[in-house]
């Protein structure tokens, strides 16, 4: 994954309060950096 200037990001969610429910990883290809879409659900 690329750490680009001006890139928007948030802190990784606290696992005590959030759990990962889905992930789609996309590898680098054709000069584009790798990226991921991650979905979290709040723990009850």
> Residues 5-42: pLDDT tens digits?
877 778 889 999 999 999 999 999 999 999 999 999 99
Decide if 21 is inside a domain.
yes
Q: Identify the sign of the CA torsion 33, 34, 37, 43.
A: negative
pLDDT (0 to 100) of residue 16? 97
Decide if 1 is inside a domain.
no
Q: What is the domain extent for residue 25? A: 15-44
pLDDT (0 to 100) of residue 3? 76
Decide if 24 is inside a domain.
yes
Tokens encoding 13:
């969610």
Decide if 2 is inside a domain.
no
pLDDT (0 to 100) of residue 40? 96
Decide if 23 is inside a domain.
yes
Total structural domains within the chain = 1
pLDDT (0 to 100) of residue 9? 75
pLDDT (0 to 100) of residue 17? 97
């Amino acid at each position: 994954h690329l750490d680009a200037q001006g890139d928007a990001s948030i802190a990784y969610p606290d696992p005590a309060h959030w759990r990962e429910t889905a992930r789609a990883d996309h590898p680098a290809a054709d000069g584009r950096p790798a990226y991921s879409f991650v979905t979290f659900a709040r723990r009850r």
